[in-house]
Amino acid sequence: MRINPNLAGVYLNRGITRADLGDKQGAIQDFQKAADLFQKQGDKNNYEKAINILRRLQ
């Protein structure tokens, strides 16, 4: 299944799932993609949420 590349929330949710399943590297990639998309879309609150989760994982 492919993810719509413009749906930042989907990447955020998949990152959470991957982190829960122990796929740290996959989660980091998804949170980074979500943060990039949120930033491009001007969604400051969700951008900061994704960045904060990303920082905790790194």
Q: Is the pTM of this model over 0.85?
A: yes
Name the residue type at position 30: D
pLDDT attached to residue 3: 67
What H or E segment, with its residue span, contains residue 21? none
Contact present, 54 and 32 (Cβ < 8 Å): yes
In which band, very low, low, confident or very high, does the pLDDT at 2 lie, cut at 50, 70 and 90? confident
Residue 21 φ then ψ, to 5°: -90, 0
Are 54 and 43 in contact by the 8 Å Cβ rule? The answer is no
Kindly indicate the confidence band of residue 17, based on its pLDDT and cuts at 50, 70 and 90: very high
pLDDT at 9: 94
- What percent of the chain stands above pLDDT 90? 88
* pLDDT band per the 50, 70, 90 thresholds, residue 1: low
Query: What does the pLDDT read at residue 51?
Result: 97
Alpha helices in the chain (DSSP H): 8-20, 24-40, 44-57
